[in-house]
Amino acid sequence: MPRIGESAQRRGAFITVEGGEGAGKSTQIARLAATLRARSGRGVCVTREPGGSPRAEEIRTALLGGLAKPYGPFAEALLFSAARIDHLDRLIRPALRRGETVLCDRFIDSTRAYQGAAGGLDPGVLDALERVVVGPTRPDLTLILDLAPEAGLARAAARAGGQGADRFEAETLDFHIRLRGAFLAIARAEPARCAVIDAGRDPDSVEAAIRATVAARLPELLPGEGTRGDAA
Ligand code: Z5A
C-alpha cells in the first residue's frame, strides 16, 4: 500500500508513456532513456506494465495469454492492479526514493482506456482502484503517443512476423478506435500531466518532439533545453 508522507520522500521523476498497439512506446522509451542517462546526471529506471517486477511479470504472462478474459474487464482490472501493487512497491517507489527518473511503458491510463473506455468498466470502479493501488504515486508527465489504429496494428503485425496476436491485439478495430479516443480524452481532461505526441511520423521526428516536451515540462531533466516548449 502507498505510505503516508510518500510525496515528501519522493525525489525522482515519474514519466509514463501510453498509446495504442504499435505506437512506438518501446522504441521511444529506449531513446529517451539514452538521452536522459547522458544528460540528466540522474539514474534512469526503464520498466513496463503489466510487469516490471518478477511477480508482476508472472501476472503479465497470464493476462496477455487471455487467462482473465472470460471473467470480464473487472477481473482483468483487478489482475492488472495486483501486478501494479507489486511493481510500485518493489521497483517504482524505491527508484523514486533514490532520486531516479522512472520511465514506464504503460500505467494507469492503460487501465482507464482498455478496461474502462474500451472494455466498459465503470469509471467509478477505476477511480476507486487507482486510489487504493496507486495512491499518491502519480506520474509527473504522461506522453500519449497518438497513432491511427490501422497504422499501429500494421506495425505490430509486421514486427510479429506471422506469430499470433496477443489477447489485446486480437480485439476488433472498433475496440482500438475507442482506445485512441479514450487516450485523447484523458489528455484533454489532464493537460498539466499529459502531452499528446504525433506518433505517425518517422522515429527521429517523434524522438525530437518527446525530447522538446520533456525539456519544457521537466526542465531539470534536460538542463539548457527547457526554453523551446512542447513540440508535439
Ligand atoms: N493493458 C491493459 O489492458 N490494461 C493495463 O492496465 C495495462 C496494459 C498496463 C500490453 O501489451 C497489453 O496490456 C496492451 C494493453 C494491455 N495491449 N496489447 N497488446 P504489450 O506491452 O505487449 O504491447 P504494447 O504495450 O501494445 O506495446 P507494443 O505492441 O510492443 O508497441 P509499442 O511499444 O508501442 O511499439 P514498438 O515496439 O516501439 O514499435 C512497434 C513496431 O513499430 C516495431 O517494429 C518498431 O520498429 C516500429 N516502429 C516504432 N516507431 C515507428 C515509427 N515512428 N515509424 C515506423 N515504425 C515504427
Ligand 1: atom nearest CA of 63 is: 13
Q: Tell me, what CATH number does 129's domain have?
A: 3.40.50.300
The tally of domains found in the chain comes to: 1
**Is there an atom of ligand 1 within 6 Å of 183 CB?**
no
Ligand 1: centre distance to CA 126 (Å): 22
* Residue 228 pLDDT class (50, 70, 90 cuts): low
Distance (angstroms) between ligand 1 centre and the Cα of 156 equals 7
> 151 lies in a domain?
yes
Note whether residue 229 is domain-resident.
no
Binned at pLDDT 50, 70 and 90, residue 229 comes out as low
Q: Which has the closest alpha carbon to 220: 23, 15, 48, 17?
A: 15
Tell me if 8 is assigned to some domain: no
Mean pLDDT, the chain, integer: 92
50 located within any domain: yes
CB 69 within 8 A of CB 167: yes
pLDDT at 224: 86
Q: What is the pLDDT of residues 153-193, one digit of tens each?
A: 999 888 877 677 777 777 889 999 999 999 999 999 999 99
In short, whether 101's Cβ falls inside 6 Å of ligand 1 is no
In a domain, 227, yes or no: no
Question: Please, are residues 79 and 126 in contact by the beta-carbon 8 Å criterion?
Answer: no
Q: Are 125 and 77 in contact (CB under 8 A)?
A: yes
| Domain assignment present for 226 | no
Q: Are 183 and 145 in contact (CB under 8 A)?
A: no
| CA 31 to ligand 1 centroid distance, Å | 15
Q: For 58-73, how does the pLDDT look when each residue is reduced to its tens digit (9 = 90+)?
A: 999 999 999 999 999 9
DSSP state at residue 146? E
pLDDT, tens digit, 9 for 90 and up, residues 129-152:
999 999 999 999 999 999 999 999
Q: Within a domain: residue 5? A: no
Q: Which triple of cell numbers denotes residue 133? A: 493501488
At 224, list the grid cell: 539548457
Is residue 168 within 6 Å of ligand 1 at its C-beta?
yes
Task: Identify the domain containing residue 199 by its residue range.
Answer: 13-221
The HSE-up count of residue 142 (CA atoms within 13 Å, CB side) is 22
Q: How sure is the predictor about 5, in pLDDT bands with cuts at 50, 70 and 90? A: low
